[in-house]
Amino acid sequence: MTTTVANPVATRTPPLAAVRRRAARWRLTLAALTFTFVALGVGTRLIVQRVAGTGASAVSSSTTPAPSFTPLAAPWPGRAEVVRLEKQLVRAGYSIAVDGKLGPVTKSALADYLQLDATHPLSPFLASALEGTWITGYRKPAVWNQRFGLNRLTRFVERPLTGPGGQLDANGNLRSGPR
């Protein structure tokens, strides 16, 4: 009967510290590649906007000086602010969809919730978005939810909330009658 003894150096697995270092290097490489691709994407978008003339600082033949700062994209901060406002409305008790869109229903909920005075001014974005909306400031989410909320009890025949012939116009104001 013969036995073979394996060489312990030949069958040894790498130490755990070496495996962790290798994994950390891969993570760092992946993070660097991700950052590079994102920066390339943003840069490409800015270049395309300038060439196409749709950006905030499009290339033109006039002698206006180039701005020192070019904003990336206006919809991103606006959408983030809308989502923040919608979450605030939901916390206050309003039954609305948090979808990042400032539609007539969201404008109506904001008109019911907002109380305008010197201590509660509107941001420039919100002031321009709510132009034409009547701010009532009732702050009665239960009453508002019964009429416009997501889970309201509807009657057999009811006008839709938005759209042609809807209860709310494009600014979130209550329409007087069917149109």
- 34 and 80 within one domain: no
| pLDDT computed for residue 9 by the predictor | 57
- In 3D, which of 112, 124, 104 has the Cα closest to residue 88? 112
Contact 101, 85 (CB under 8 A): no
What number of other Cβ atoms are within 10 A of residue 149's Cβ?
A: 19
13 DSSP 8-state letter: P
Range list of β-strands (E), the chain: none
- 170 and 109 within one domain: yes
Instruction: Give pLDDT tens digits for 48-93.
Output: 777 777 655 545 455 555 554 444 445 556 788 889 999 999 999 9
Domain count across the chain? 2
Instruction: Give pLDDT tens digits for 6-28.
Output: 665 555 666 777 778 888 888 88
Q: Which residues have CB under 8 Å from 155's CB, separation 6+?
A: none
| pTM (2 d.p.) | 0.54
As to burial, measured by CB atoms within 10 angstroms (0-12 exposed, 13-18 middle, 19+ buried), residue 107 is: buried
- 179 and 138 within one domain: yes
- 79 and 35 within one domain: no
